[in-house]
Amino acid sequence: MAGSTWGHLFRVTTAGESHGPGYVAIVDGVPAGLALSEADLQPDLDRRRPGQSKIVSQRQEADSAEILSGVFEGMTTGTPIAILIRNQDQRSTDYSDIKEKYRPGHADFTFDQKFGRRDWRGGGRSSARETSVRVAAGAIAKKLLAERWGVGIVGYVLQVGDISAGVPDPSAVTLEQVEATPVRCPDPSTAARMIELIEQVRGERDSIGGVAELCATGVPAGWGEPVFDKLKADLGKAMLSLPAVLGFEYGAGFGVATMRGSANNDALVCEDGEVRTRTNRHGGMLGGISSGMPIVMRCAVKPTSSLPQPQETVTTQGEATTIETKGRHDPCLLPRFVPMAEAMLALVLADHALRQEAR
């Protein structure tokens, strides 16, 4: 299946289906000598897995990663790293009703049009469970970035529905602040309101969307390639490759549409012998190349498409019908989306870091 590999020098290929035996990732390009074990992957996998709180899907998956190759005596060998995550709590019978129906908001119809057949058990390859091995690969990229270049990555929920958090300085947000609440919003009072809204929506048998914000600190100036492989272009593609992402922006984003150039430009200054900008409306990238300022971006995530209420649809034969999705689904995708987005940010930065180093 084309389109299952990401990256140039730091390359990740994933395989698997949501109701199959499990998922596999092959991570190629990790330099030799990086201390690595399954314990390094598990914290982010625990943040992504279902069943971690009452406001997410109650599917019970341990998401325990097994490293099958590429690590010897606790260190990477420079050869491809194979990671396996087994599925343990599938309920394929929950999806028997959709075998002949297309779910609104899902890829059922488009998969049929592309391949002529589909795995109707939870969406198969289109399921968000595929991101489990992306998160495992991203954990490797995070460790490499931190140890080799001093890069840190933090993501958090900025908005759920019409409830938005006030985060004046994304680069100051810590992982501890994010993980202090199950909704992963660093503003405690806003987080409580978000949780209340998610619980209300779930009680109404509905779902709600929102916005996640991500920040990478310590990225040196100079990462990214001109024209087609701009850092911002790869980040946009990476984020939009994640399920449920309908929008991507960085820096001031769509806010620039109402600004004048004199207000949007960031003044360049020299402090302690280093060139930087006084403000960061450019989001850490100029001309698609990192500027040395924090890289700040946001993703708009749609409401969960699977709903336990009747929705209008058609059968695979084109006949009008209704569908009510069974199974265990997130009333809001944002809390579990955060580690997925962090992983993709890390994969992009690790790839561009190695490409810059290779120059």
> What is the reported pLDDT for 184?
97
> What is the reported pLDDT for 235?
98
> What is the reported pLDDT for 121?
74
Q: How far apart are CA 69 and CA 38, in angstroms?
A: 12
> What is the reported pLDDT for 55?
78
> What is the reported pLDDT for 60?
64
Residue closest to 25 by CA, chosen among 349, 244, 344, 342: 344
Residue with tokens 């959709």: 98
Q: What is the DSSP string of 24-60?
A: EEEEE-PPTT-B--HHHHHHHHHHHSTTSSTTS----
pTM surpassing 0.85?
yes
**Could you state, in order of their start, the residue ranges of all structural domains in the chain?**
5-358
Do you know the residue count of the chain?
359
Phi, psi dihedral angles at 89 (to 5 degrees): -130, 45
| CATH, domain 5-358, list 2.20.28.90, 3.40.50.2000, 3.60.150.10, 2.60.40.10 | 3.60.150.10
Q: How far apart are CA 26 and CA 5, in angstroms?
A: 9
> What is the reported pLDDT for 91?
59
> What is the reported pLDDT for 95?
64
Whether the Cβ atoms of residue 284 and residue 272 lie closer than 8 Å to each other: no
Summarised one tens digit per residue, pLDDT across range 113-164 is: 888 888 877 777 888 889 999 999 999 999 999 999 999 999 999 999 999 9
Q: How far apart are CA 299 and CA 345, in angstroms?
A: 12
Axis crossing angle, helix 131-149 with helix 334-358, rounded to the nearest 10: 50
Spans of the chain below 50 pLDDT: none
> What is the reported pLDDT for 58?
63
Q: Which helix (H) or strand (E) holds 239?
A: helix 231-240
Distance in angstroms between the alpha carbons of the first and the last residue of the chain: 32
> What is the reported pLDDT for 52?
66
> What is the reported pLDDT for 328?
66
